[in-house]
Structure 1
Amino acid sequence: MKLEPLLFMVHRIPYPPNKGDKIRSFNMLRWLSKHYEVHLGCFIDTPEDKQYIDELQKYCASYKVVELKPLQAKIKSLASFIDGSPITLTYFSSKELASWVKQVVDKQSIQRALMFSSSMGPYLEDETYSKLLRVLDLVDVDSDKWHQYAQKANFPMSWIYHRESVKLGAYEKKLTQQYDSIALVSEKEAELFRSMVPDDLKNKVHAVTNGVDSEYFSPESAFQNISLPAKTVVFTGAMDYWANEEAVVWFCKKVWPEVLKIHPDACFYIVGTNPNPGVLALNNGSSVVVTGRVEDVRPYLDGSAAVVAPLRIARGIQNKVLEALSIGKVVVGTTMAFEGIEVEGQELDVLVADDAIDFGNKLANQLTIATEVKAPTLSQKNRKFVTDYYNWDAKLDNLTPLLEGGSASCSNNKMEMNAL
């Protein structure tokens, strides 16, 4: 049976699934390909990812990949300060991609679309697309994330971030009026966004939460073991992302020195792509090691005595935390790091601390336990929690009523009209 065509738009090529947004967009693409004939439009913003374009053939009937050069996009974004638009929209604008959208919608008679992030919203804003059933996955409330950035940054960046928070927040509400359904990565994120929109739009907002590939992130999966110090602590994440950089800098300055007083032979591994100069400066080759890009993060997670998530700026669900739980690691993190993950009421091996001293004490205690065990600790409770509650297919099945027009009466009417 021929599958119905669907337009899927993503701001970054959804392969490989090696960072937060790409993990979600890839798993969405994989899920969509089982239920629809997918026509994918996306950007590619790093030369390294060009080698993966052909991988899209496995999941898409057609695709359009447009190269986005970050420096040129940033320069282009200066126009936002003249026309009053959010920087995000100007950064990801492309006449080439917009032209492809019009062509593929017409040629394939597409009636439904899933847009990933607010930056893709403008591509279906035109009145000519009003008959499509349009679902927007905001993922996170990005306007609130910019608000958090503004609170942490110094002038003039604090002003720029505040402006983006206000402008993007207004645009997110506009998109909620135009689109049939809005998805967010957790129920807490959905609750936050419902509080920001008028009462008559709240029923459009839904939670479609993340899962984790528990077969891949398993202590029993096949990966190459590496030799790590017994008291290894690990952080994983894209290290050109400011929230991650801020987290490890704070951790190294405020928490880690206290841990080293008790465990001078401990070693903190910062594992992730594209470390910024601020992160590279933390590397001393002994108590702090910055790895840069690695082929596989699992050996580092598996060989650690504990995984830390000292995030003080965060939205949505932290994939890094789910992956660590899946591989059976004890996780020490801030309240924000666990936000959106349903840990309340669960008996898990997780430690929550927002104060630097408290964080350091809890981590030091965990390293003491690991020393006594004389082997990397494995938490079966954490692993079972993930396998029971965070299956990707089960989580993404919540997209079905949104894409089939079952979330609101206006969507049902739209699909009936298109069927005539």
Structure 2
Amino acid sequence: MRLALIAPWVVRPPIIGGLQIRFYQLQCLLARLAGAQGLAIWDLRDGGPVSLERAPLSDPQRPELAAFVPPRGVRALGLRLCHLWPGYVASSLANQRRRLLDWLRQEQISHVVLVHPYASELAPALKRRGLRVFIDCHNVESELALQLAELAGSPREAEEARLRHLVFRRRERRCFPAADEVWLPSEEDVCRQRQVCGPSAAVHWRVIPNALDLRQYEPPRASTSGELAAEESFDIVYPAEFGYGPNVEAAALLSGRILPAVRRRCPQARLVLVGRDRYGLVSCLRREPEVVVTDTVPDVRPYLARAAVVPVPLRHGSGTRYKILEALALERAVVTTPRGAEGLALRDGEHALIRELEDFEEAIVTLLRDQRLAHQLGRNGRRLVEERYSWEALEPQLRAALAAHNGLGQQGQSGAC
């Protein structure tokens, strides 16, 4: 087997947001499974093959792919509607298609992993050439677009989100049946995606959960007095990519509604919003010392390690949930909504506190005051990540997926990551 990954860009630390963590997970684990031949990667943003041994590659600060940030106005509408025609390939992909296909042939690729929605349009063409095709999804994109339409700040944004829904729905219905397998992060996502594609669609679904390299997540050490380093902290830390609507909504809820209620009972509490705010959507929430907005940081882990509580008050969105996994990996106490917990094997009161928004204040105050409960939730959460959401747990699942289609057997070796 000769394995290739076609991705929107190659990720290198610092990694920003769950989307990039998912990409990085794919890069590293597929590189391990590719064995001595190595993983072949085509970077759509750079428009050519790249090597994991070479650095630096694509810059996560650069703009998104042109196909996904079209011009505004009538031309934007025309481009989006063009996507609805069968066989349409986005211009950024069409310009590379011939070179990419030639490269796949020269490299003697047999198995290809395509990242949706950026590369999934290639699935029918690759299957016609006899390749084994796997599509990796970090969200149910068509459904998410409808949710983002509800959060839109203007009628134009709402209309663009609805058009994006139509684009992605057609792409999913047309391209997913062409793949050997379609991978999603959870059973809940599989159920939603199956509804989008229709019950009669001949699609082989597989759950490939999100996972962490736990070598990079060492819980805070106990001090000489036996107390945890984060014990004196009253930080309520929300790490997120704040260019994403559901995360902005959650930050506004925490700052405007939840934190004031918490501070009436725990005056020492402060909210720390950690993550890139490239559009300035949460900078307006800053009111130090009680609300700190960091913008981009080189590493989110020190902020999480000092957190007394990590709240995730999501009402919209689907997919990665990496902020919860990272918090649990560092043995932090998590409060989240039923929506935020979807797709993760969390049990309320054992791994996290799962509450509706109206009960968030009480849950956060409980954890700020009851450090024993907070520590117990953190320890249980860490064990859950080790068992279900670590690279060690995920690697056999990826191996099985590839081996099921003229695959890998037991030949995988450690790769570039």
In structure 2, how many angstroms separate the alpha carbons of the residues matched to 1:390 and 1:99? Answer: 38
Task: Give the number of the structure with larger relative contact order, counting CA–CA contacts within 8 Å between residues 6 or more apart.
Answer: 2
Distance 1:218 1:392, change over 3 A: same
CA contact (8 A) 1:310 1:333 kept: yes
In structure 1, how many angstroms separate the alpha carbons of the residues matched to 2:89 and 2:262? Answer: 44
TM-score, length-normalised on structure 2?
0.82
CA contact (8 A) 1:31 1:396 kept: yes
Counterpart among 284, 296, 317 of residue 287 in structure 2:
284
Structure 1 residue 68, shift from structure 2 partner: 6.5
In structure 2, how many angstroms separate the alpha carbons of the residues matched to 1:58 and 1:398? Answer: 28
Q: Does 1:260 align with 2:263?
A: yes
Counterpart in 1 of 2:304?
301
SS at match of 2:213: coil
Structure 1 residue 227, shift from structure 2 partner: 9.0
Worse overlay, 393-402 or 317-326: 393-402
Structure 1 residue 67, shift from structure 2 partner: 11
In structure 2, how many angstroms separate the alpha carbons of the residues matched to 1:253 and 1:43? Answer: 40
Counterpart among 54, 59, 77 of residue 81 in structure 1:
77
User: Residues 49-88 of structure 1 correspond to what in structure 2 (within 5 A)?
Assistant: 56-57=52-53, 69-70=63-64, 74-76=69-71, 79=75, 81-82=77-78, 84-86=81-83
Counterpart in 1 of 2:140?
141
Counterpart in 1 of 2:190?
190
Letter in 1 for 2:52: L
Counterpart in 2 of 1:413?
none
Structure 1 residue 156, shift from structure 2 partner: 2.5
- Aligned residue pairs: how many? 388
Counterpart in 2 of 1:213?
213
- Show CA shifts across 1:273-295 (max 9, x none): 23532201111121000112222
SS at match of 2:109: coil
User: Residues 4-403 of structure 1 correspond to what in structure 2 (within 5 A)?
Assistant: 4-16=1-13, 17-36=15-34, 37-44=38-45, 56-57=52-53, 69-70=63-64, 74-76=69-71, 79=75, 81-82=77-78, 84-86=81-83, 93-126=92-125, 129-153=128-152, 154-201=154-201, 203-220=203-220, 230-344=233-347, 348-355=350-357, 357-370=358-371, 379-403=378-402
In structure 2, how many angstroms separate the alpha carbons of the residues matched to 1:325 and 1:291? Answer: 21
SS at match of 1:41: strand
SS at match of 1:269: strand
CA contact (8 A) 1:194 1:202 kept: no
User: How well do the aligned residues superpose, as a CA RMSD in angstroms?
Assistant: 3.5
CA contact (8 A) 1:135 1:181 kept: yes
SS at match of 1:379: helix
In structure 2, how many angstroms separate the alpha carbons of the residues matched to 1:312 and 1:91? Answer: 31
CA contact (8 A) 2:123 2:178 kept: no
Distance 1:216 1:71, change over 3 A: closer
In structure 2, how many angstroms separate the alpha carbons of the residues matched to 1:203 and 1:379? Answer: 38
In structure 2, how many angstroms separate the alpha carbons of the residues matched to 1:320 and 1:305? Answer: 15
Letter in 1 for 2:130: K
Distance 1:43 1:319, change over 3 A: same
TM-score, length-normalised on structure 1?
0.81
In structure 2, how many angstroms separate the alpha carbons of the residues matched to 1:244 and 1:311? Answer: 7
SS at match of 2:164: helix
Letter in 2 for 1:295: P
In structure 2, how many angstroms separate the alpha carbons of the residues matched to 1:205 and 1:253? Answer: 40
**Where do 5+ consecutive residues of structure 1 fail to align?**
46-52, 408-420
Worse overlay, 283-292 or 101-110: 101-110
Distance 1:41 1:218, change over 3 A: same
Structure 1 residue 259, shift from structure 2 partner: 1.1
Letter in 2 for 1:219: P
Distance 1:199 1:401, change over 3 A: farther
Letter in 1 for 2:355: A
Distance 1:295 1:405, change over 3 A: same
- Show CA shifts across 1:104-134 (max 9, x none): 1121121221001122112344378441111
CA contact (8 A) 1:267 1:288 kept: yes
In structure 1, how many angstroms separate the alpha carbons of the residues matched to 2:397 and 2:65? Answer: 37
CA contact (8 A) 1:135 1:402 kept: no
Letter in 2 for 1:108: E
- Show CA shifts across 1:115-154 (max 9, x none): 0112211234437844111111122111111111112324
**Where do 5+ consecutive residues of structure 2 fail to align?**
223-227, 407-417
Worse overlay, 254-263 or 118-127: 118-127
In structure 2, how many angstroms separate the alpha carbons of the residues matched to 1:141 and 1:72? Answer: 21
Letter in 1 for 2:119: M
CA contact (8 A) 1:134 1:180 kept: yes
